[in-house]
Amino acid sequence: MGMKEIGAWALNVCNARGVQFADLRIVDERQRGLATKNGKVAHAADSNSMGIGIRVLANGAWGFAATEDLTRAGVETTAQQAVEIARASAQVKEHDVTLAPEKPHVDDWASAYKIDPFSISVEENLDLLMKVDAELLKVQGITLAETNMNFRRYEQWYYSNEGADIHQVKVTTGAGYACLSFAGTEIQKRSYPNSFGGQYQDKGYELVRELKLVDNAQRIAGECVALHKADQCPEGKFTIILDSSQLGLQIHESVGHPIELDRVLGMEANFAGTSFLTLEKLGKLRYGSGLVNVVADATEQHGPGLGTFKYDDEGVEAQCTPIITNGLFTGYLSSRETAALVGLNRSGGTVRAEGWNRLPMIRMTNISILPGEKPLTLEQLIADTEHGIFFQTNRSWSIDDKRYNFQFGTEMGREIKGGKLDRMLKNPSYSGITTEFWNSMDAICSRDQWTLWGTPNCGKGQPQQVMGTGHGASPARFRNVTVGTAYKGA
Amino acid sequence: MLTKDKVQDTFDRIKKYATADEVELLVAGGKSALTRFANNTIHQNVAEENYQLSIRTVFGGRAGRATTNKFDDEGIRRCVKASEDVAQVQHPDADLLPLAGPEAFGARPQAGRAFLETSSLGPAERAAGVAKIVEVAKRQGLTAAGIYSTSESVEAVVNSRGLVAFHTQTAAEISVTMLAQDSSGWQKFNSPDARNLDPVALAETAAKKARDSAAPKELAAGKYTVILEPAAVLDMVGFMFWDWGGQAILDERSFLNNRIGTQLFGENISITDDVYHRLQSGAPFDGEGVRRQRVPLVEKGVPRRLVYARATAEKMKKSEHAAKVGPVEATGHGFPVPNEIGEMPMNIVFVGGSKSVADMIAGTERGVLVTRLWYIREVDPYEKILTGMTRDGTFYVENGKVQNGILNFRFNESLVHMLANVEEMGQPVRASGEESFDMVVPPMKVREFNFTEVTKF
């Protein structure tokens, strides 16, 4: 059975019942997850899920229903259910939903990759992970070594009663490892190349080879054990430099979430929260220093980020939206509904769903800080810093429900003295208020230091959906930042 | 809904395609619906039906797992093959146990946790419930946001050694946030039986919190006596139960390493994992079909016992930790095999006290009343220092009375310290938060809770 025919069964039911708008996504998703722990295979599994999610606008309100049953009866019953749900929604509304216009696109797109990750044998995958695992355990003092590798192929057919017909295939690869050292009354941890399972991108198996997993294992394990003997990170106001992965998460939490228009408009108030970025601040708020330039860029030109696609999950073409321009707040993440609500001509194309059985909603695409224009390496930035602390690899993260007050901890810190990296610091943390922090940024490294990180675990929505987002960043320096709060009073 | 007969039929078809020595089927899924509202409007409203079958195949010490939601013959054939392909490329694991036999689950009758009154609720009934909440909001000049959800779920484990474990249950939940100009209030409740939900009562309580915390004042950060409502207690303590499995001790990633049998918490803290408790929910078996036991985890402040999957118990018996961790046996708390974590207790029941929240307020000279906590993350894994924020109703208490709403705090507090400093507790209730699974916990009054920063609202 062709997907277009399955889509037509649903749309015909919706149209016959007089809905204002209907769209649907048929998704076929395959995943492979592999992990080792202390020299043994910890997890080896393949999974597959396929189904249809149908969204309708009837009586000015939304309804959504999803099923795994792709028979004609299953699809038509589910379409009917979506309409009934929309009519029930209309019992409690303040106004009718309207949508910003979008040309119905007809297209076929696939993310680029060199090596299909599913073409590499599980045996080869596990051999590599076991090698990394063994390298980590060679370092005395390591009490737990964990490695992982994950592949995903996400194929989606999108149809709407406006005439959209979009087929997209996205392949994602992720890999990384972490080690723990328990000694005395302390557990220390180091991860590579990032926390949250490593690095994730819309690439094939070539990403695994680029990461040089084995080459870095003993260094990372050595740092983990050495942290036990390091000095505790001091408390006070310091100049700090964030490595690019930590800056990526800083962007995610203190820029990416507050610019979501559904949060701004109160739609997430019960769970994820709202935002300090109320509508009157657009074009007026000095979000950061003049060096801060952030974009929400879902286009392929930005790179193979987890937020890269050609069309979002309501058929809107991928775009690049300037979010912070020379420090000024200039843009939100929007959907067709929220764009219409705030008077934008077009959605910013940021709506995505975790799978076929979840409602598409505003999600971060690739929210990236642009690199500095002047050549500046991390080494040069450190050399230019008289005294400060260099923060590496996230360990803890927390921010309030309007996205003002944040606190981050990293796995490792290094004191900077006289332009050079000095003693190792354990348990480093820093905290602040979003706009004060971004206004304190006085240097950012250039393009050659910029990495497009993948965050695979962003949670939002009810029922909660987990989404991958992209964050490009190069190391940057911030002045007069509060450091050490996490252990204050402990 | 998927029936026990259909699960058995699916397993029979799996066996037809399998060439492995042993085969295990896990089934999970069901029907769920969630009506979501904000700005006094239903803005999202969803329903789904989905079932996953997960097949583990074992060839002489080598195991693989594959999962699909396709129950037709071709879907099952492919899933079996994927599972066997993964298994066959692995090196044999000498520690891999045979699948659990039927005696591991037994034939004890199960408490019913599926209610027609929940499964029969449709979108119109949920919308009517939301309309009542919105009416409360509008009457008081507030804006309501939240959810009203229902579900009917199935869990099953069937294996080639003859074990069959099957469980169905329903769940209904309401969460309400009431927003005022510069304040908010929140309430949440769930039950397997939708008749236990009272949307108006939840809305009225959330609305009162929003009204009472209006025009919040700034209170300096520092150590305060806090009165934590049950949802706040739940979201804090939930972080320690990931460490309560035998595997966490073997991996030396647990804050309980070298602390079992010591006076870690106050003598007023006793905790049991008990899936059979009348306020609990969930299946009475684990990811291998082993019947869950009632396990006393903490007695009078002393961690006494851990929970175990079958394989973890065997490893623990041979380990250097065996003599220091209390009784070691499979307790029916394992996750589906293979996995990295091993096991954890997820039906937590605290022993409480006799004080109400009102009593605690009345007996507090200077303190902070906390409705809910948010974005809690672990700062230090051994001292179990957690950071997070207060949210949706934080109040200053002085001379036995709630004085005013206050700007929200960031905390950095050790769970070990917190549970050693509990001064008073109330009646345990089934509580639901956002950072952890549901538990039966009391409200607590805790001294010297460490607030480190103040935010702007």
Q: What is the mean pLDDT of residues B19-43?
A: 98
- The domain tally of chain A equals 2
Average pLDDT on A168-188 reads: 98
- Cβ atoms of B230 and B442 within 8 Å: the answer is yes
Domain range list for chain B: 4-205, 216-457
Indicate if the pLDDT at residue A285 is higher than 90.
Answer: yes
CA separation for the pair A300, A341 (Å, rounded): 28
**CA quadruple A487, A484, A271, B286: dihedral, nearest 10:** -40
Q: Which of residues 377-406 of A touch B (CB under 8 A)?
A: 395-402, 404-405
Q: At what angle do helices B199-212 and B123-139 cross, to 10 degrees?
A: 30
Inter-chain touch B179–A61, beta carbons under 8 Å: no
| Distance in angstroms between the alpha carbons of the first and the last residue of chain A | 63
Mean pLDDT of chain A: 98
Provide the pLDDT for residue A366: 98
Q: Is the minimum CB–CB distance between A429 and chain B shorter than 8 Å?
A: yes
Q: Is the pLDDT of residue A310 over 80?
A: yes
* pLDDT > 70 fraction of chain A, expressed in percent and rounded: 100
In this complex, is the C-beta atom of A266 within 8 Å of any C-beta atom belonging to chain B? yes
- A393 and A368 in a single domain? The answer is yes
β-bridge mates for residue A175, sequence order = A149, A199
Same domain, A285 and A174: no
Q: How confident is the model at residue A490 (pLDDT cuts 50, 70, 90)?
A: confident
Dig out the tokens for B189 from the structure.
């409740």
How many whole angstroms separate alpha carbon A244 and alpha carbon A253?
A: 14
Q: Report pLDDT digits (tens) over A35-58.
A: 999 999 998 999 999 999 999 999
> What's residue B353's pLDDT?
98
Specify the fold of B4-205.
PmbA/TldD fold (3.30.2290)
- Say if residue A173 is in the same domain as residue A248: no
pLDDT the model gives residue B223: 98
Both tokens of B83, joined, read: 């599972």
Q: Which of A204, A229, A254 is the last residue of a domain?
A: A229
Mutation target to probe the B interface, by most B beta carbons within 10 A, among A337, A362, A400, A427 is A400
Which residue in A has a C-alpha nearest to residue B76's C-alpha?
A48
Judge contact between B331 and B304, C-beta under 8 A: no
The verdict on A95 and A165 lying in the same domain is yes
Residue A319: which pLDDT band, with cuts at 50, 70 and 90? very high
Picking from B193, B123, B133, the residue whose alpha carbon sits closest to that of residue A64 is B123
Please answer whether residues B173 and B431 qualify as being in contact, where contact means their C-beta atoms are separated by less than 8 angstroms.
no
pLDDT over 70 (residue A23): yes
* Closest by Cα among B258, B274, B255 to B419: B255
Q: Are residues A395 and A322 in the same domain?
A: yes
Q: Which domain holds residue A72?
A: 3-229
Which is it for strands A61-67 and B41-59: parallel, antiparallel or unpaired?
parallel
- The residues that bridge with B222 in the sheet, in sequence order, are B451
Q: Which of A307, A306, A31 is nearest to A148 (CA)?
A: A31
Whether A107 and A50 map to the same domain: the answer is: yes
Cβ–Cβ gap B147/A47 under 8 Å: no
Q: Residue B195 burial (CB < 10 Å; 0-12/13-18/19+)?
A: exposed
Residues B259-283 have pLDDT tens digits of 999 999 999 999 999 999 999 999 9
Q: Read off the pLDDT of residues B63-107 as tens digits, 9 standing for 90 and up.
A: 999 999 999 999 999 999 999 999 999 889 988 999 999 999 987
DSSP code for A373:
S
Q: Looking at the structure, tell me whether residues A106 and A181 fall in a common domain.
A: yes
- What was the pLDDT predicted at B107? 78
CA distance B298 to B265: 9
Buried b (16+ CB within 10 A) or exposed e, B178-190: bbbeebbbbbbbb
Q: The tokens of A167 are what?
A: 């087929």
pLDDT of residue A139 exceeding 70: yes
CB within 8 Å of chain A, chain B residues 425-444 = 434
Q: Which helix (H) or strand (E) holds A297?
A: strand A294-297
Phi-psi group of B30: left, alpha or beta (phi > 0 → left; psi -120 to 50 → alpha; rest → beta): left
Instruction: Give the pLDDT band of residue B108 (cuts 50, 70, 90).
Output: confident
What's the gap in Å between the CA of A406 and the closest CA on chain B? 9
Closest CA to A194 of A426, A453, A479, A483: A453
* Confidence band, pLDDT 50/70/90 cuts, at residue B111: low
Is A208 found in the same domain as A235?
Answer: no
The rounded mean pLDDT for chain B is 97
Say whether pLDDT at A11 is over 90. yes
CA-CA distance, A162 to A90, in Å (whole number)?
A: 22
HSE of A196 in the Cβ direction (CA atoms, 13 Å)? 21
Q: Is the sign of the CA dihedral A225, A230, A235, A238 positive or negative?
A: negative
Give the pLDDT score at B42.
98
CB-based contact, B259 to chain A, within 8 Å? no
How many CB atoms lie under 10 A from the CB of residue B255?
25
**Is B96 touching A (CB cutoff 8 A)?**
no
Q: What residues contact A324, with CB distance under 8 A and at least 6 apart?
A: A255, A287, A288, A292, A293, A294, A330, A438
H-helix or E-strand spanning residue A94: none
> What does the alpha-carbon distance between residue A62 and residue A76 come to, in Å, rounded to a whole number?
18
Instruction: Sort residue B443 into left (φ over 0), alpha (ψ -120 to 50) or beta.
Output: beta
- Across the range A308-327, mean pLDDT stands at 98
Mean pLDDT for A277-296 is: 98
Phi, psi of A371 (to 5 degrees): -70, 165
Residues with Cβ < 8 Å from B135, sequence gap 6 or more? none
Contacts of B50 in chain A (CB under 8 A): 49, 51, 66-68, 357
What are the structure tokens assigned to B175, written together?
């969460």
Write the residue in A88, A397, A485 that is nearest to B124 by C-beta.
Answer: A88
pLDDT tens-digit series, residues A375-430 = 999 999 999 999 999 999 999 999 999 999 999 999 999 999 999 999 999 999 99
Nearest to A55 by CA among A162, A169, A170: A162
In whole angstroms, what is the distance from residue A464 CA to residue A258 CA? 18
Of B37, B130, B387, the CB nearest to A407: B387
State the Cα–Cα distance between residues B434 and B439, nearest whole angstrom.
12
At residue B356 the predicted structure's pLDDT band, cuts being 50, 70 and 90, is very high
What are the backbone angles phi and psi of residue A149, rounded to the nearest 5°? -150, 135
What phi, psi does A107 have (nearest 5°)?
A: -160, 165
End of a domain among A229, A260, A282? A229
To the nearest whole Å, the CA of B321 is away from the closest chain A CA by 14
What is the rounded distance in angstroms from the CA atom of residue A396 to the CA atom of residue B429?
Answer: 30
Peptide bond just before B338 cis, omega within 30 deg: yes
Q: What is the DSSP letter of B283?
A: -
Under 8 Å between Cβ of B150 and B128 = no
Per CB-CB distance under 8 Å, the chain B contacts of A125 are none
- Once rounded to an integer, what is the mean pLDDT over residues A445-451? 98
Q: In whole angstroms, give the CA distance from residue A14 to residue A57.
A: 9
CB-CB under 8 Å, B145 with A266: yes
Element (H, E) at A184: none
| B196 burial type by CB count under 10 A (0-12 exposed, 13-18 middle, 19+ buried) | middle
pLDDT at B137: 98
Measured between CB atoms, does A35 come within 8 Å of chain B?
A: yes
| Beta pairing class for A186-192 and B41-59 | unpaired
Residues 329-348 of chain A whose Cβ lies under 8 A from any Cβ of chain B? none
Please tell me the predicted confidence (pLDDT) of residue B112. 78
Q: Are A18 and A173 in contact (CB under 8 A)?
A: no
Please check the confidence at residue B124 and state whether its pLDDT lies above 70.
Answer: yes
- Of A179, A210, A229, the residue at which a domain comes to its end is A229
CA proximity to B177, closest of B199, B201, B210, B200: B210
CATH code of A70's domain? 3.30.2290.10
pLDDT in tens, B367-394: 999 999 999 999 999 999 999 999 999 9
